Amino acid sequence: MTEASTQQTRDRVVIFDTTLRDGEQSPGCSMNLEEKLRIAELLEGMGVDVIEAGFPIASNGDFEAVNEIAKRVKNSIVCGLSRAGRKDIDRAWEALRPARQARIHTFISTSPLHMKYKLQMEPEAVHQAVIDSVSHARNLCDDVEWSCEDGTRSDPEFLCRLIESAIKAGARTINVPDTVGYTVPDEYTRLMRYLIENVPNSDQARFSAHCHNDLGLAVANSLAAVIGGARQVECTINGIGERAGNAALEEIVMALRTRGDAMAFETGIRTTDITKASRLLSSITGFNVQPNKAIVGANAFAHESGIHQDGMLKHAGTYEIMTPESVGLNRSTLVMGKHSGRHAFRKKLEELGFHLADNQLNDAFTRFKDLADRKKDVFDEDLLALVDDAVWRGNDRIQFVSLQVVAGSKGPQSAELELEIDGRPAAVKATGNGPVDATFNAIKELYPHDAKLQLYQVHAVTEGTDAQAEVTVRLAEAGKTVNGQGADADTLVASARAYIHALNKLLVKREKTAPQALSA
């Protein structure tokens, strides 16, 4: 067959991104409104079909985020999650109402284990709840998705009854989640085929897969579901999500693109935005991508073995099944220096996906000049870390001003720290068991709190002794965890910025409460 005719026979797989909902449920992964809007804008730009923007009834913050995304997104469907109760569904619709294209996604547990112990409901009561919830959602919104939570551990015959009723009540997308990452590919393919073949009105709905990665099978299971007849896949950037995470969007999309010979399906994703999306999410959440992560890891296109290098020199296809450019990986090395001007700086940031307002550009350019004076070579990764750290903290209540540290083998180690708290300057000198401990003690003195430090992690943004340090800090308080990230050529300054970033996120999260049964 010709390439053109092959393209015409390919089935379209809808990409449903739940980074802002299921992804945000990952411990420490909470995002504020501005961060969610940035992610949503990028998802829309890269061609994501459905953006699940949040769980509106979870908190006022979630409602506000879904509502604001619904106002701004024009090309993607904006989706809000709700449980089966009318109050949840009404709240979801209230948040989604401004959207050009809106979807209510409602769910209820269907496995014997969940029905007995979590819902404490009999199967027939669950069946009636499906009919009632989908009917109510459909009366509000033309586009309704229904999910059977813990679907892969549910009785298939019972699922057929529920799905038939959900479709009859108005659901046009049926999601069969592998909520706890339990199934295996062949099993999931068979389940999808069984449901599609045995639900009388299955032709009136699109079937969907939502897989968790507890056994490391989320992407394989998602592809298996597509082979079994599913035409929507629910996934997240970098595979973030509860426990071991969700199926990774970038892996699913590139698997379908690269192995079109084995799987005749296509998506509408602009794959050249994949690396940008991965980096943006990492910078916002502080969740660094492991080096050997497929598609977006630092080593994904690196070749150190002599045999591999020899093959690559002769023909890239010997060891690369896709090109770095196909996922938006920039091969450039040195990009900027201390003599670079503002125009060149702006142009480079635009190439990296940043479009800054004048005041933001001024702040970032000042930080860049300072970095260029201290660092011999400035790379793309340096600029990404610098801009994320310098520009997107403008609304934080606690702002870093300066830090002076006394360190070394002869104690005591001390830190003189200056902050702005709610616009007011504050300064203190504190000691500690090392310079990092002294710095964190100084922050606690200026802004007292009971949060516990769970993680302190440092990595170099690029190579060399003059590399910027990127620090990740995780704080926990009253069952809530947040990650903060900071970057600077000085590791201790980066540490202070990371701790302050986490503390600011914790202040936001104190206002957020999560309802029961959130894991569909």
pLDDT digits (tens, 9 = 90+) for 111-128: 999 999 999 999 999 999
Alpha-carbon distance 110 to 149, whole Å?
6
Lowest mean pLDDT among 69-73, 217-221, 246-250, 463-467: 463-467
Task: State residue 459's pLDDT score.
Answer: 83
**Per-residue tokens: 394:** 């403008």
Among the ranges given (212-226, 357-371, 503-517), the one the predictor scored with the smallest mean pLDDT: 503-517
Radius of gyration of the chain measured on its C-alpha atoms: 24
State the pLDDT at residue 189. Answer: 98
Phi and psi at residue 399, to the nearest 5°? -120, 135
Distance CA 17, CA 237 (A): 8
Can you give the pLDDT at residue 485?
Answer: 85
Closest Cα partner for 167 from 159, 156, 179, 178? 159
Tell me which H or E stretch contains 126: helix 123-140
For the chain, how are helix, strand and coil distributed in percent, rounded to 5?
Answer: 45, 20, 35
Give the model's pLDDT for residue 28: 67
Strands (E), 349-451: 378-379, 398-406, 413-421, 424-432
pLDDT at 480 over 70: yes
CB 488 within 8 A of CB 512: no
pLDDT at 2: 35
Tally the residues of the chain: 520
Mean pLDDT lowest for which of 50-64, 201-215, 356-370?
356-370
pLDDT above 50: residue 502: yes
Residue of 369 and 429 predicted with greater confidence: 429
Residue whose C-alpha is closest to residue 382's, from 489, 302, 299: 489
Residue with the bigger pLDDT between 402 and 358: it is: 402
Question: Percentage of the chain surpassing pLDDT 70?
Answer: 89
Work out the pLDDT band at 269, boundaries 50, 70, 90: very high
Cβ neighbours of residue 330 closer than 8 Å, sequence gap 6 or more: 275, 351, 352, 380
pLDDT grade, residue 5 (50/70/90)? very low
Residues 268-293, mean pLDDT to the nearest whole number = 88
Q: Which of 151-165, 330-344, 423-437, 468-482 has the lowest mean pLDDT?
A: 330-344
3-state secondary structure labels for all residues of 230-289: CCEEEEEHHHCCCCCCECEHHHHHHHHHHCCCCCCEECCCCHHHHHHHHHHHHHHHCCCC
Mean pLDDT of 178-196: 98
Q: How far is CA 481 from CA 324, 412, 474, in A?
A: 34, 31, 7
Least confident of 49-63, 94-108, 212-226, 464-478: 464-478
User: How sure is the predictor about 393, in pLDDT bands with cuts at 50, 70 and 90?
Assistant: low
Q: State how far the Cα of 477 lies from the Cα of 31, in Å rounded to an integer.
A: 16
